[in-house]
């Protein structure tokens, strides 16, 4: 917060009171609705069949992100209440204001394509029985499995409690008509929807990298924060960095122009609040 106005006055100088030794003052405070943003960047386990491991990683990641978010917003709330209490002692009333939510961007190499279970779980798509089985642990020969503290079903239910993630490139193909379309996709069976055809281009070509904008304005991770109003902060993708055409990526990455086996994705994101 910052002080925007200070008024000091002496009771003894007023004709309306008798002389005293008390010198009161009034102060007006402004709670600064400073806004921040929480960005995570990560690389999930690469092995395609290790879907249970990636399921655990997603849960741990979301739990850590929203623990941090809750701590930040709780600190802002504690400071806000402390200031309000000081004002109330002087003026017997205080105008309650709202605090800004800190939006979350979850970015990185998720090692999962848009037709797979992890992507569908983050974007709140329903999983069928076959997909649910795919998320169960795969036991390799000669490996002893000890008691598992969290089953796949438990992890899925916990992840479902977190907000919806919206991929910043989820409408990319609608906006770039020149983007290469995978010739192996059958009409009506495009699981990738608007996502780019690829973000990695080597022996295997496909989409593994995302920037998820988390839709968490209605989400409450910590019930201690339920007594305060947080002003919703909305996010809107205004630009995407173009995905290079496949002709400049052949025969595969890395090459002299692209030093990684993954291409770069980048977005301009606008933050705004409802009036």
- Summarised one tens digit per residue, pLDDT across range 25-40 is 333 334 445 667 888 8
Least confident span in 41-45, 176-180, 210-214, 229-233: 229-233
CA atoms within 13 A on the CB side of 176: 20
- Tell me if 48 sits within 8 A of 19, measured CB to CB: no
The pLDDT of residue 61: 86
pTM, entire model: 0.78
Greatest mean pLDDT among 3-7, 84-88, 211-215, 268-272 lies in 211-215
Mean of all residue pLDDT scores within the chain: 77
State the Cα–Cα distance between residues 272 and 2, nearest whole angstrom. 23
At a CB cut-off of 8 Å and minimum separation 6, what does 60 contact? none
The pLDDT of residue 87: 65
> Where do runs of H (alpha helix) occur along the chain?
51-91, 117-122, 129-134, 152-160, 172-175
| Spans of all domains in the chain | 37-137+149-272
């Amino acid at each position: 917060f910052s002080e925007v106005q200070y008024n000091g006055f002496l009771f003894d100088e007023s004709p309306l009171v008798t002389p005293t030794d008390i010198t009161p003052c009034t102060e007006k405070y402004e709670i600064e609705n400073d806004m921040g943003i929480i960005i995570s960047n990560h690389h999930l386990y690469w092995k395609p069949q290790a879907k249970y491991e990636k399921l655990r990683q997603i849960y741990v990641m979301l739990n850590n992100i929203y623990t941090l978010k809750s701590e930040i917003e709780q600190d802002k709330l504690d400071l806000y209440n402390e200031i309000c209490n000081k004002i109330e002692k002087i003026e017997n009333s205080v105008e309650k204001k709202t605090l800004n939510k800190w939006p979350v961007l979850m970015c990185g190499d998720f090692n999962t394509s848009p037709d797979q279970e992890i992507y569908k779980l983050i974007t709140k798509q329903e999983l069928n029985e076959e997909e649910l089985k795919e998320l169960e642990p795969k036991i390799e020969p000669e490996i002893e499995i000890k008691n598992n503290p969290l089953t796949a079903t438990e992890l899925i239910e916990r992840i479902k409690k977190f907000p919806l993630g919206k991929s910043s490139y989820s409408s990319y193909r609608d906006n770039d008509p020149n983007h290469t379309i995978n010739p192996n996709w059958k009409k009506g069976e495009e699981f990738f929807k608007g996502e780019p055809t690829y973000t990695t281009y080597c022996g295997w070509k496909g989409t593994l990298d995302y920037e998820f904008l988390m839709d968490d304005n209605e989400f409450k991770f910590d019930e201690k924060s339920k007594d305060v109003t947080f002003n919703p902060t909305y996010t809107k993708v205004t630009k995407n960095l173009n995905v290079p055409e496949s002709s400049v990526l052949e025969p595969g990455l890395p090459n002299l122009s692209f030093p990684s086996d993954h291409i770069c994705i980048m977005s301009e994101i606008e933050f705004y609040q409802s009036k």
